[in-house]
Amino acid sequence: MKRTYLSLIILLIGSVTCLFAQRPTQPTTKLKTSGVTCNQATINWTNGNGDGRLVFMSNWLSNFAPVDQTTYASDSVFGKAQAFKNVYCVFNDSKDSSVTITNLNSGERYYIAIYEYNLVQGQPEYLNQAARIEFISDSMGVVDFAIDHSYQCLHENDFKFTNLSKITTGEPTTFQWDFGDSSKPVFAKDTNHHYSKGGIFMVHLTARSGGCKSTAYQRDTVLIPYEVDFILDTTAVGNDSIRCAGTNKFELINVSSFPIPPIYGAWDRSRLTWTTNTGANGAAYNFDFETTNYDTITVQLRVGRQVRSGAKLCFDSISKSFYIRPPMLHDSNVTINSRVQSIDTNSFKLEHSGDSIASFTWYFGNGDSSIQNPVQYSYKAAGDYTISCRAIGKNGCEQTYAIDVSVVKNSSIAEIERKGLLTVWPNPVRDQLHLEHSVSGYQILSLTGELIQHSAQVTKNIGVSHLQPGTYLLRLDNGAHTLIMKLAD
C-alpha cells in the first residue's frame, strides 16, 4: 500500500505541473478602433484567457511573432520602444483591454497584432494565434518631395530637395529634413545638402501641422570613386623612375582599389584611361609604353566608377612623374666642319661641348679612335663612314652619338646628289633653311610649278619665314647640275 500512495502523490504532482505549463487557449477578441485622428488612435478588445497580453504595432504588414520565454518592453508612443523588424510593442498588461497609441503619422496604414500569454515560472508562454486589426490614421494632406539628381559623385555632390507637399489642415506647418547621414536636421520648406561621405541614404521629410505629423521617404546615392594608384613593375629589369636618355620602356601596374564600404550592390562597373605627356595612351588594366623623349615624363591614370546602369561615371585620377636624363651629346653641342669632303683634301674637324661627360672616345668607323677634343681626322680612302662619340656621363649614363660622313673622289653637287648626301635642315622649316654646301642659286616653287622665291647668289642659308605654311619644291643649282627636293614649311 505504501507504494500505491507514493505513486498517486507523484501522479498528482505531475498533473499540477502540467496544468501550470499550459499556454492560453482563448485569443483576444472583438478588436476595434476608436478616437482615430491624424496622430493617435485607441485600440479596444476583449481579453482572452491568458495571464496577460502584448499588443504589437507596425506601419507595414509583418509576420513577426513573440518568442516564448522572452519579455518585451512596451511604450504607447509608437516608435519609442525597441524595434523588431519595424514592429513595436505598444502594450504589455494583464488587466486593461484598451490602449491609446500616439505619435502616429497622418494618412498611414497601421497593423495591430495581440498575443495572449501565460507566465510559467515567471516566463511567458505565448498563444500562437494572434488577434489582428488594421486601420488608417486621418490624413493631414500629402507630404512629398523631389530630388533634382538622386545619384551624384562624392567629390561634387550637391543635392537639391524641392518640397511638393500639400497640407490640408489649415494650420501653420513646419517641415523637417533628415538626410540619413547623421547630420543635423534642417527646418525649411526646400533645401540643399552636401554629403561628406558616400553611401545610399534614406532622406526623410516630416511635416507637422495642427498636432499632426506625416513623413515622406526617398533614397539618394552618393558614389565613392575608386582609390586610384599605380606603381612601376619592380620585377622588370631597369624599370626605374630615373633613366638615361635613349629608348625607354615603362611598365606600370594598376593598384587601384575599391574604397571601403558602402557596397552599392551587384552592379559595379569601371572604365579607365592612361595618358602621358609623350602622346602614349591606353585603356588596359596595366600599361606599358616606350618613349625616346627625355626630361620629365608624366603619366596619368583616370578611373571612372558606375554603380547603376545608365548612370554617370564618377572619376578620380592620379598623376606620377618619371625623369629621363637629357642626352649628353646632341646636335647643338657636337660640331663638324663638313660631312662630305674630297679624298684629296679631307680633314674632318669634330668637337663636343658636353659638360656632364666624365670620359669619351671618338671612333672613325675604320678601326681608328681618339680621346682628343677637339679632334681632327683625315681618311686615306674614299667611302662612307660613321664617326661616333661614345661618352660616359658623370651620372653613370652611357651614350653614343653618331655622324655619317662621306669621302668622295669628286665633291661636285652631282656626286653629292648621286650619293644622296646633301644635307638640308631643318625640314619642315619655319624661319631659315641651312645647306651643308654652298650653291650658286636656288628656286622655291609651288607643287604646281609656280615660282615663289629664287636667288642667283652663292649661299648656304635660305630665309623662308614669309612663306605660307605648306609643301614646296626646292631646286638647288651648282653649275650644270640641279637637285630638286620637297620642302615642308
> What pLDDT is stored for residue 8 in this prediction?
36
Which pLDDT score is estimated for 428?
78
Tell me if 176 sits within 8 A of 186, measured CB to CB. Answer: yes
Cα–Cα distance measured from residue 398 to residue 390, given in angstroms and rounded to the nearest whole number:
7
pLDDT beyond 80 at 207: yes
The predicted pLDDT at position 19 comes to 45
Distance CA 482, CA 454 (A): 14
For cell 673622289, the residue is 409
Mean pLDDT of 79-91: 92
pLDDT value at 96 more than 70: yes
Position 424 pLDDT exceeds 90: no
pLDDT grade for 355, boundaries at 50, 70 and 90? confident
For residue range 11-34, what is the model confidence (pLDDT) as tens digits? 334 444 444 458 999 999 999 999
Question: Is the model's pLDDT at 4 over the cut of 70?
Answer: no
CA distance 422 to 443: 16
Q: pLDDT band at residue 417, thresholds of 50, 70 and 90?
A: very low
Judge whether residue 70 has pLDDT over 90.
yes
Domains of the chain, with CATH numbers? 20-136 (2.60.40.10), 141-223 (2.60.40.10), 230-324 (2.60.40), 334-408 (2.60.40.10), 423-488 (2.60.40)
Burial class of residue 54 (count of CB atoms within 10 Å of its CB; 0-12, 13-18, 19+): buried
Question: 653614343: which residue's cell?
Answer: 400
Note the pLDDT tens digit of each residue in 452-478.
888 888 788 888 888 888 888 888 766
* Residue-wise pLDDT tens digits, 33-49: 999 999 999 999 999 99
Is pLDDT of 5 > 90? no
The yes-or-no verdict on residue 2 having pLDDT over 60 is no
420 pLDDT above the threshold of 70: no
Sheet with 29-34: list strands edge to edge. Answer: 29-34, 41-46, 98-101
Cis check: omega of the bond before 326, within 30 degrees of 0: no
Place of cell 478602433: 33
pLDDT for 410: 57
Predicted local confidence at residue 423, as pLDDT: 66
Q: What is the largest CA-CA distance in the chain?
A: 155
Assess whether pLDDT exceeds 60 at residue 421. Answer: no
Q: Please, what's the b/e burial string for 295-307 (b: 16 or more CB within 10 A of its CB; e: otherwise)? A: eebebbbbbbbbb
